Amino acid sequence: MINETYYKRRYVITSIIIVAVIIFLIELFWLQIIDQSTKDKADSNALLKQTIYPSRGLIYDRNGELLVFNQPIYDVTLICNEMDKNFDTLNFCATLGISRADFEERISENIKKHGKYAKYTSQLFATQLSNEDIAPLQQTLYKYPGVSIRKRTLRDYTYSSAAQVLGSIGEVSQKTIDNDNYYSVGDYAGRDGIELTYEKYLRGEKGIEILLRDSKGRIQGSYNDGEDDIAPVSGGNLQLTLDIQLQILAEYLLHGKIGSVVAIEPRTGEILALASSPTWNPKLLVGKTRSKHYNELMNDPTKPLLNRSTQAMYPPGSTFKTAQAVVCLENNTLSVNTFYPCNGRASVPIACTHSHGSPVNLLSAIEQSCNPYFWYAYRDFLEKNDYGSNNENFRKQYQLWRDMIMSMGLGKTFSDSDVPTQKGGSIPSIQFYDKIYKGKNNWKAKTIRSNSIGQGEVLVTPLQLCNMAATIANEGYYITPHLNKADSMLEHRHNTGFQQKHFKIVKEGMERVMEYGTGRYYKLDSIRVGGKTGTAQVQGKQDHALFIGIAPLDEPQIAVAVVVENAGFGATWAAPIGSLIIEQYLTDTVRRTYLKERMHNSILNPNVK
């Protein structure tokens, strides 16, 4: 009986031993494989791993002009456990120019942020120190055990232009760290603009330097003769399509105004200028004063952080008549010999700014920007073959009109482009009108007549407007607008499907605008320019001034779009700016200096800094 009892106990004891061994193995696996904190603590006693930050890639313009480069800065890191009892805190604080309270607060924050092993690992203490800031500490570093200095870089700029395009660098958020293990607390990354779009290309790869320490924590040199070190890899350099001199001129001409200038090389889709006003010197968002200046920009009532060239949406006004003409020609509801009446301000349901007489043909209508002409053309498109009396056919014809307009890049973002922060504009859908007019039978051509002259619910961004001009320049297609010079987008060709001959007619009308029409005061000697001015009404405010232009007409090298908010006539404010941009790009200079200075010195909005 006794032997049987001992026999049973043997199973119990064996089970206890097996469970204990399993628990021990699990704990061992956890400590050695899963939880690296104990290993970090052990390693930190003998080794110091320092991150070596790579140089961020440089940014150039299309002509090789250096736009963005790097300047050295320094971080101070420390390991609390190595700061012995004789650590001279007061002198350390004085050297860095901080208070004792600030010192203690930073230490406390690091411990809270990194947990119980924070004392044993290297923690970021001070950032973005200049050569002048760090020099006193470098000379006395031996006095402060546990303190290290590491070199990093910040962005610097050759020119004070193109801030919205280039973007800026800022400290990464916890969300960014969680989503990409490349980053650690205190790292920097692109926050907007090209710096954000090409962050992974520009940032490079970090390196690691492993240093050996003695029992007192003093650095004894490289561990294993540096064989385990990892060298950093510099970020890639980036060449943009921007012409920085053209960008500078665009921003100069927009001085004292709210608006934008966009220029594109039609053949390639390369963006030559992407200016938005008001703007700022990109150096303001660098270094320790970044947050202060960013808050100032964010609270500025003129909204400089809004990139108006890609994010602001405007009624295109009479510039839209060029697209309207192409679409109606393609649909065979309009020809170069189609005539419509114009009775000036007495015209109904859309009046005209001038009485052009009756009748008016297409080329004269483009040249003189006749509103009634394009209303009649729009009406006849929508009511083709008496579609006006058949609602379903009318709706099909409206959908056809919308699709044809959008084929020129209007009413949608360029999803295959590297241009950041785009808005889509608006070419209203059938569903949109059904909703606002509460039913599909409650609207017709006359209801939405303002669309015919680029008013009403039609909205475009300046980038889209310039791309529309590029489509006309190319006589039927556009290449996706983009900013990376190395990224050829020629395969991203978007064909409208329209006949080339229709664009030639519109280009002839645009040339007449610059020779005899609203743009005649700003034509260029020896260069054939096609243009179209626009004046878009804004409820309760002064009209927006707009202009599109292409040149030279035979083989266009530049398409430009200009918008000046609440300025008045497009012929007065937008056309001269567009003309100067074309002159600068095609001739490498501006000879009409009187016009350049007049545009620069005309302050239309005193709130623009």
Judged against a pLDDT cut of 80, whether residue 131 lies above it is answered with yes
Do the domains at 47-113+120-134+144-167+196-239 and 244-601 have one common CATH topology? no
Predicted local confidence at residue 265, as pLDDT:
98
Residues in the chain: 609
Q: How confident is the model at residue 405 (pLDDT cuts 50, 70, 90)?
A: very high
Predicted local confidence at residue 431, as pLDDT:
96
Q: How confident is the model at residue 109 (pLDDT cuts 50, 70, 90)?
A: confident
Predicted local confidence at residue 45, as pLDDT:
56
Judged against a pLDDT cut of 80, whether residue 358 lies above it is answered with no
Question: Alpha-carbon distance 167 to 510, whole Å?
Answer: 36
Predicted local confidence at residue 75, as pLDDT:
87
Q: What percent of the chain has pLDDT over 90?
A: 64
Q: How far apart are the first and last CA of the chain?
A: 102
Question: Alpha-carbon distance 141 to 120, whole Å?
Answer: 19
Predicted local confidence at residue 8, as pLDDT:
59
Judged against a pLDDT cut of 90, whether residue 249 lies above it is answered with yes
Judged against a pLDDT cut of 60, whether residue 194 lies above it is answered with yes
pLDDT tens digit sequence for 382-400: 998 765 556 888 999 999 9
Question: Alpha-carbon distance 586 to 549, whole Å?
Answer: 13
Give long-range contacts, CB 8 A cutoff, 24+ apart: 394-397.
Answer: 394/444, 394/445, 395/430, 395/440
Q: How confident is the model at residue 338 (pLDDT cuts 50, 70, 90)?
A: very high
Which of the given ranges, 178-187, 212-221, 294-303, has the highest pLDDT on average? Answer: 294-303
How far from 37 is each of 207, 228, 239, CA to CA, in Å?
Answer: 21, 21, 43
Predicted local confidence at residue 217, as pLDDT:
56
Write down the domain spans for the chain. Answer: 47-113+120-134+144-167+196-239, 244-601
Give long-range contacts, CB 8 A cutoff, 24+ apart: 244-247.
Answer: 244/61, 244/63, 244/65, 244/67, 244/159, 244/161, 244/162, 245/584, 246/272, 246/273, 246/581, 246/584, 246/585, 247/61, 247/161, 247/162, 247/165, 247/273, 247/274, 247/275
Question: Alpha-carbon distance 187 to 66, whole Å?
Answer: 25
Q: In the predicted model, what is the mean pLDDT of residues 23-32?
A: 72
Asked whether the beta carbons of 585 and 564 are under 8 A apart, the reply is no
Give the rounded distance of the alpha carbon of 400 from its chain centre: 32
Q: In the predicted model, what is the mean pLDDT of residues 272-297?
A: 94
Predicted local confidence at residue 348, as pLDDT:
81
Judged against a pLDDT cut of 70, whether residue 1 lies above it is answered with no
pLDDT tens digit sequence for 480-503: 999 999 988 888 999 999 999 999
Q: How confident is the model at residue 212 (pLDDT cuts 50, 70, 90)?
A: confident
Order of all β-strands in the sheet with 530-538: 270-277, 259-265, 558-564, 541-551, 530-538
Predicted local confidence at residue 462, as pLDDT:
98
DSSP SS3 for 327: helix
Q: 113-143: b or e for each residue (b if 16 or more CB lie within 10 Å)?
A: ebeeebbbbbbbbbbbbeeebbeebeeeeee
Asked whether the beta carbons of 509 and 323 are under 8 A apart, the reply is no
Asked whether the beta carbons of 48 and 219 are under 8 A apart, the reply is yes
Q: What percent of the chain has pLDDT over 70?
A: 91
pTM assigned to the model: 0.88
Average pLDDT taken over every residue of the chain:
90
Tell me the pairing of strands 66-78 and 123-129: antiparallel
Q: DSSP letter string over 505-565? A: HHHHHHHHHHHTSTTGGG-BTTB--EEEEEEEEETTEEEEEEEEEEESSSS--EEEEEEET
Predicted local confidence at residue 209, as pLDDT:
84
Asked whether the beta carbons of 428 and 493 are under 8 A apart, the reply is no
Q: Does the domain at residues 244-601 carry the CATH identifier 2.60.40.10?
A: no
Report which of residues 141 and 15 the model is more confident about.
141
Tokens standing for 504?
Answer: 């030639």
Q: Considering the domain 47-113+120-134+144-167+196-239 in this protein, what is its CATH number? A: 3.90.1310.10
Tell me the pairing of strands 530-538 and 493-495: unpaired
Instruction: Extract the runs of DSSP E, i.e. beta strands, from 14-173.
Output: 47-52, 59-60, 66-78, 123-129, 147-157, 169-171
Asked whether the beta carbons of 308 and 276 are under 8 A apart, the reply is yes
- Classify the C-alpha dihedral 358-362-368-369 as positive or negative: positive
Tokens standing for 561?
Answer: 């779009």
Judged against a pLDDT cut of 90, whether residue 566 lies above it is answered with yes
Judged against a pLDDT cut of 90, whether residue 294 lies above it is answered with yes
Of 68-82, 100-114, 127-141, which range is least confident? 100-114
Question: Alpha-carbon distance 375 to 380, whole Å?
Answer: 9
